[in-house]
């Protein structure tokens, strides 16, 4: 029986041979691509994302409101006839005590800080979205490369099996099994191509270029060893307490500032319950009056106590709600941190296994199955089973790298880095 000698482990396939293979298999796809680096993508998105523009506009709104925090009531312009013989113009102005305007300024400043905290949350969220979109495209690209190699291998294997079947050297079961495996790999490759296009569009939408043929600068497969080292250093430096780990979270800072804003609102309502001063001026009715000017002074008394009491109750309820939201967010962040930490440790152990054991075993399986098949010591079915086992190990290794990096991205986001 003639034995083809064409099987090469995909992780040992040279860059030139891989490029030549892609030129043969993907003639319609080869066109100008735009290489994007992760740091460049982050910088571009942080400059143009609409969520950040909205957050910037919110800050400007709060700063404008702060400039108007000294807001006395509008003056009353009056015309009266105190003697009944002539009309005399006048003006009356009501002024709150200085403490009211000070509390208004403090509340306005708290609103500015809250908007700035919102901008920090938006920046962190956008940065996480870019990193995950970039990672998704990286994974799709490496999946296409892996499945392109497998597809080319099974195409040759299927052609060889058809020829041997025609010569009566293999059984019908071997021929059908080879064809089934080849079609399955071909289908997986087509799905991977669609995933790659979806990843390009997802990243392109963030960059404002949804139709651009984007490609990442780094092969995800080559980042495994560096990722294992970086992950180990991060895990060794993490705090032991959840509260310390998420203390720098922008989300936690936002809800903490929301509590401060609600407390400023309570202080402002209490300050407004104090009396206000009223001053006024009016021309004299007669030119020969003993007093040259007729001034008036008074006090505005807050006698409608139920109004101020209701306002205080509402402000207190808002403060309690803000405090509850802060506690809820602290609990939620702690839960998410624990999950991300567990995922990071889990995938770190898995990555170590594949780096030290899984990948060498997959390479050995591919190499030995080829050698034994060429020597006639194993059948086509055993060869296919062996190749599928090796390819599954390599595919799971790639998935582990992706999942590990996703966990690190989430962990970094929760820690505010």
pLDDT by residue, tens only, the chain of 417 residues = 444 444 444 444 444 444 444 444 444 444 567 899 999 999 999 999 999 999 999 999 999 989 888 888 888 888 877 666 777 788 988 888 888 889 999 999 999 999 999 999 999 999 999 999 999 999 999 999 999 988 888 888 888 888 888 888 777 887 888 888 889 889 999 999 999 999 999 999 999 888 888 889 888 887 777 887 878 877 777 776 777 778 888 999 999 999 999 999 888 888 888 888 889 887 766 667 666 667 888 888 888 778 888 988 999 999 999 999 999 999 999 888 888 888 988 998 898 899 889 989 998 998 898 888 878 788 777 888 888 899 999 999 999 999 999 999 998 898 887
The confidence score (pLDDT) of residue 255 equals: 93
Domain-embedded: residue 175: yes
- Dig out the tokens for 47 from the structure: 């400059």
Whether residue 398 lies inside any domain: the answer is yes
Q: Residue 139: inside a domain, yes or no?
A: yes
Which CATH number does the domain housing residue 406 bear?
1.20.1600.10
- Is residue 104, in this structure, part of any structural domain at all? yes
- Specify the pTM: 0.82
Residue 246 lies in a domain: yes
> Tokens 């105190």 correspond to what residue?
82
- Asked if the structure places residue 294 within a domain, the reply is no
Question: CA triplet 360, 362, 365: central angle to 5 degrees?
Answer: 110
Query: Is 12 a member of any domain?
Result: no
Domain that holds residue 323: 33-79+88-284+301-414
- Total domains in the chain come to 1
Whether 17 is in a domain gets the answer no
């Amino acid at each position: 029986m003639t034995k083809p000698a064409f099987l090469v482990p995909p992780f040992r396939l040279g860059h030139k041979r891989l490029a030549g293979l892609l030129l043969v298999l993907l003639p319609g796809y080869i066109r100008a691509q735009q290489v994007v680096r992760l740091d460049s993508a982050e910088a571009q998105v942080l400059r143009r994302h609409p969520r950040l523009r909205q957050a910037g506009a919110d800050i400007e709104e709060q700063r404008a409101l702060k400039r108007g925090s000294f807001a006395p009531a509008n003056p009353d312009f009056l015309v009266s006839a105190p003697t009944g013989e002539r009309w005399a113009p006048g003006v009356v102005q009501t002024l709150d005590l200085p403490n009211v305007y000070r509390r208004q300024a403090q509340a306005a400043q708290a609103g500015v800080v809250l908007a700035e905290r919102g901008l920090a949350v938006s920046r962190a969220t956008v940065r996480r979205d870019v990193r995950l979109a970039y990672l998704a495209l990286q994974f799709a690209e490496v999946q296409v490369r892996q499945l392109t190699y497998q597809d080319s291998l099974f195409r040759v294997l299927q052609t060889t099996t058809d020829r041997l079947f025609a010569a009566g050297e293999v059984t019908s079961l071997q021929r059908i099994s080879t064809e089934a495996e080849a079609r399955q790999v071909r289908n997986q490759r087509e799905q991977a191509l669609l995933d790659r296009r979806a990843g390009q569009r997802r990243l392109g939408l963030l960059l404002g270029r949804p139709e651009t043929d984007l490609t990442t600068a780094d092969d995800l497969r080559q980042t495994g060893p560096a990722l294992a080292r970086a992950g180990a250093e991060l895990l060794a430096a993490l705090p032991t307490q959840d509260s310390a780990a998420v203390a720098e979270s922008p989300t936690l800072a936002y809800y903490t500032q929301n509590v401060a804003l609600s407390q400023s609102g309570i202080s402002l309502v209490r300050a407004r319950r104090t009396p206000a001063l009223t001053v006024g001026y009016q021309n004299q009715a007669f030119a020969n009056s003993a007093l040259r000017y007729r001034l008036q002074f008074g006090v505005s008394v807050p006698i409608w106590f139920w109004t101020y009491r209701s306002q205080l109750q509402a402000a207190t309820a808002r403060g309690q709600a803000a405090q509850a939201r802060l506690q809820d967010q602290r609990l939620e962040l702690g839960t998410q941190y624990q999950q991300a930490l567990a995922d990071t440790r889990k995938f770190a152990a898995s990555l170590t296994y594949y780096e030290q054991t899984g990948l060498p075993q997959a390479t050995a399986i591919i190499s030995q199955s080829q050698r034994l098949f060429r020597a006639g010591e194993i059948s086509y079915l055993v060869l296919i089973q062996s190749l599928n086992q090796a390819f599954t190990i390599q595919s799971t290794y790639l998935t582990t790298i992706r999942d590990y990096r996703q966990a690190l991205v989430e962990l970094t986001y929760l820690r505010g880095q």
